[in-house]
Amino acid sequence: MTYRIVSDSSSNIFNLNSEISYTTVPLKILVDGVEYTDEPGLDTEALVAKMEASQWGSSTSCPSPQEWMNAFDGADYIFGITITSGLSGSYNSALNGKEMYLEKNPDAKVYIVDSLSTGGEMELIIEKIAECMEKDMPFEEAVQTIQDYQTHSHLVFTLESLSNLAKNGRVSPAVAKVAGLLGIRFLGRASEEGTLQQAHICRGPKKTLTTTLAEMVKMGYKGGKVRIHHSLNLAAAEKLKNLILAEFPGADVRIVPCTGLCSYYAERGGMIIGFEDL
């Protein structure tokens, strides 16, 4: 068996702490006519500054089926994982890439996970896939294990601005407007369908963090893994980590900076937090 995990770049994970072969396929960000590929080495700080100063507009695009297929090359036990199909075409591309790959490699086994989420929750699912492969788990059993795990993984996020989400039609302009007010932060969660759902409107950074942890607990958090992905906001990520550890000592909490795609949509200051209810 040649194992491979392939994620689109919305997971913010370019390297996996495992022996298992792992690679990413990039989403792209277009700002004022210049295309930025979300791959290692992309300067997200510069990207965010360009996007904030943009005059002519910006958008994003998902990987092509061809890019997905190429990333599978050489493996025969493959898990692909994508950003939610509720907000992007990446999942459909990956399914098409799988069909193309299977035409040439009919004996390969390929499962594409629709994360119905992004960022930190994708990281958790990737870790679980790696665990299955490290145990040499039979393919069908691994698929079942991941489907079960997805019922125990969740996503909350805090945003200081929803303007790129609104501009690109991923959230209604009315919702974006409320969250755009000065000092107001939008606290949301991934809905069952993998779309943005408003949980709270918070005033001030401190209140945002305590409300975030309260929301996680309401959604079933009881001391399991947490993956805090932040967009140029390490200070807030560390404060949230400390709040979590104060209430749940010994919790496995990891902080990860967003790469290109998530930085573009979460904008400066945003956090995308995956956690388990186990």
Strands 77-82 and 109-114: parallel
Q: Which is nearer to ligand X90, 127 or 267 (CB)?
A: 267
* Secondary element (H or E) of residue 238: helix 234-247
Q: Which is nearer to ligand X90, 5 or 165 (CB)?
A: 165
User: Three-state SS for 118?
Assistant: coil
Query: By C-alpha distance, which of 16, 35, 74 is closest to 261?
Result: 35
Q: How far is the CB of 137 from ligand X90 (least distance, A)?
A: 28
Q: Catalog residues that contact ligand X90 under the rule CB under 6 A.
A: 27, 60-62, 83-84, 87-90, 117-118, 157, 170, 190, 194-196, 262, 265-266, 272
Q: How far is the CB of 197 from ligand X90 (least distance, A)?
A: 8
Strand ranges of the sheet holding 58-61, from the earlier edge strand across to the other edge: 34-37, 28-31, 58-61
Q: How far is the CB of 226 from ligand X90 (least distance, A)?
A: 16
How many C-beta atoms lie closer than 10 Å to residue 106's C-beta? 7
Q: Which is nearer to ligand X90, 112 or 190 (CB)?
A: 190
* Secondary element (H or E) of residue 4: strand 3-8
**Cα–Cα–Cα angle for 28, 111, 220, nearest 5°?**
85
Q: Which is nearer to ligand X90, 22 or 161 (CB)?
A: 161
Q: Which is nearer to ligand X90, 23 or 195 (CB)?
A: 195
Q: How far is the CB of 196 from ligand X90 (least distance, A)?
A: 5
Query: By C-alpha distance, which of 67, 50, 55 is closest to 6?
Result: 67
Q: How far is the CB of 270 from ligand X90 (least distance, A)?
A: 7
- Count the residues in the chain: 278
- Cβ-proximal residue to ligand X90, closest one: 88
